[in-house]
Amino acid sequence: MKRLIQNGTIVTCAKNTPRVFAHHDIVIEDHLISAVAPTGTFRADRFDETIDAGQHVVIPGLINTHHHLYQTLTRCHPAVQNAKLFTWLTELYKRWQYVDYQAIKTAAQVSIAELLLSGCTTTVDHFYLFPQKTNVRLEAVLEAADELGIRIHACRGSMTLGQSAGGLPPDVCVEKDDDVLKDCRRVVERYHDASTAGMRKIDLAPCAPFNVSHELFVETAKLARSLRVLLHTHAAETADEEAYCRKRFGKRPIEYLQDCGWLGSDVYLAHCVCLNEEDIRVLAKTRTGVAHCPCSNMRLGSGIAPIVSLLRAGVNVGLAVDGSSSNDGGNLLAEARQALLLQRVQNGADAMTVADAFTMATVGGARCLNRNLLGRIEPGCCADLVLYRKDGINWAGAIAQDPLGALMLCQSPRPDQVIVNGKIVVQDGRLATADENRLSAQLNQIVSERFST
């Protein structure tokens, strides 16, 4: 199918710098962008479909580099509304041990719906919860992504250190190292799409140093590299984690990961709040990516990640909403605004620009995931596009001055249309691939029956 998006105001990174192109057309052929040019270059009658974007800002699909899609099951849970990370985890593990396949799938569908309705077209899901004697499998997340139409990096996560072995999760929530490695190989060989424009990637992702054995960290890195897939984990999220690593391993979190063979251009780390200058230098030197989760870090009182210092050092930094039990929402455009404001609180009003925030949400995320066809509107890139109406009240007065500034500084609107891999998945501000009200009702019923006490 050949589609023309006509007369839009395009905001995209050109040579790594965000730019605004007024009155431009985009040509989509099947799942790729084939041309971008000033309006009038192409004849509309030569296309299967023409979308009038004269009243729209068009941006590349936003990229979410860290999430736990299942966590809408315990969103806003009263027991952890005022808890720090370790307390938050130990309380929620008590609920999460009762998940099953359908609960995981429904929760993932709701989280994905939120992401799509914020303009996010690619998401990571760090899924590490496989309680014993349940039917939970990674396939629950993969089915949810397929049905709603989002591009996904599904991370086969793991926890193998239960409380009896000095870890945080209850023993019923952990697996054996050998079983983890066996299933990691299974899901990569069965589901990973190695093509450049693949809709489904499988990454390998032990949860964190405080719930995974040293041996599994080392062996997972070896397996991932033999299979040519990416590595992902939580790192340096809180001062408590740093204290745990110092006590257990005699090293800071980044030092520990380096000893495990866990730094490099095929690795992206979530959070990275508690870093020193040497950590930042090592991350830059090894080209390790960072998934920045500002709202989650604020919600749990974890601190402010040194994003300005990371960017100045040349570290690839992407943006992430994190799980819906530590963020309570999944709006990636709003997350970009929060990232911008949070860095200014710490470093001053000129420390981070709207261009920096937009870059993190697009090409920054693409770099973390080694996806050079994402995050841009250029010929040859994936047809992942978001169209926002310019005439909404939230942008009045701003859109006439600076469309990029409106995107990053004003209240985030729902997109009018979202296109993923050339397919329309949001139309007229509503999901085109699922019934929002039905999904909401299904999740509320599951939560009320099994997770609300």
Parallel, antiparallel, or unpaired for β 2-14 and 49-52? parallel
What does the pLDDT read at residue 145?
Answer: 98
pLDDT at 150: 98
- 163: how many CB neighbours lie within 10 A of its CB? 16
**Phi, then psi, of 92 in degrees rounded to 5:** -75, -30
Query: In this predicted model, what pLDDT tens digit does every residue of 80-132 receive, in sequence order?
Result: 999 999 999 999 999 999 999 999 999 999 999 999 999 999 999 999 999 99
The alpha carbon dihedral of 200, 201, 204, 206 has a sign of negative
Whether the pTM exceeds 0.95: the reply is yes
Confidence of residue 453 (pLDDT cuts 50, 70, 90): confident
Question: How is the chain split into domains, by residue range?
Answer: 2-60+382-436, 62-368
394 pLDDT tier (thresholds 50, 70, 90) = very high
* Chain position carrying tokens 């990371």: 310
Q: How far apart are CA 107 and CA 150, in angstroms?
A: 15
Mean of pLDDT over the chain: 97
Q: How far apart are CA 136 and CA 108, in angstroms?
A: 13
For residue 375, give the amino acid letter: G
Class of CATH domain 2-60+382-436: mainly beta
Phi-psi sector, 100: left (phi>0), alpha (psi -120 to 50), beta: beta
Q: Tell me, which fold does domain 62-368 have in CATH?
A: TIM Barrel (3.20.20)
Return the pLDDT at 360: 98
Give me the percent of the chain exceeding a pLDDT of 70.
Answer: 100
pLDDT tens column, 21-41: 999 999 999 999 999 999 999
State pLDDT tens for residues 173-221. Answer: 999 999 999 999 999 999 999 999 999 999 999 999 989 999 999 999 9
Please give the Cα distance from 77 to 195 (Å, whole number): 40
Cα angle 305, 306, 307; round to 5: 95
Burial of 225 (0-12, 13-18, 19+ CB in 10 A): middle
Residue 234: alpha-carbon gap to chain centroid: 13
Residue 167: which pLDDT band, with cuts at 50, 70 and 90?
A: confident
**Tens of pLDDT, residues 236-291:** 999 999 999 999 999 999 999 999 999 999 999 999 999 999 999 999 999 999 99
* Tens-digit pLDDT profile for residues 41-86: 999 889 999 999 999 999 999 999 999 999 999 999 999 999 999 9
Give start and end residues of each alpha helix (H) in 251-402.
253-259, 277-286, 294-299, 307-313, 332-347, 354-359, 365-368
Whether 144 shows a pLDDT value over 90: the answer reads yes
Averaged pLDDT, 152-170: 94
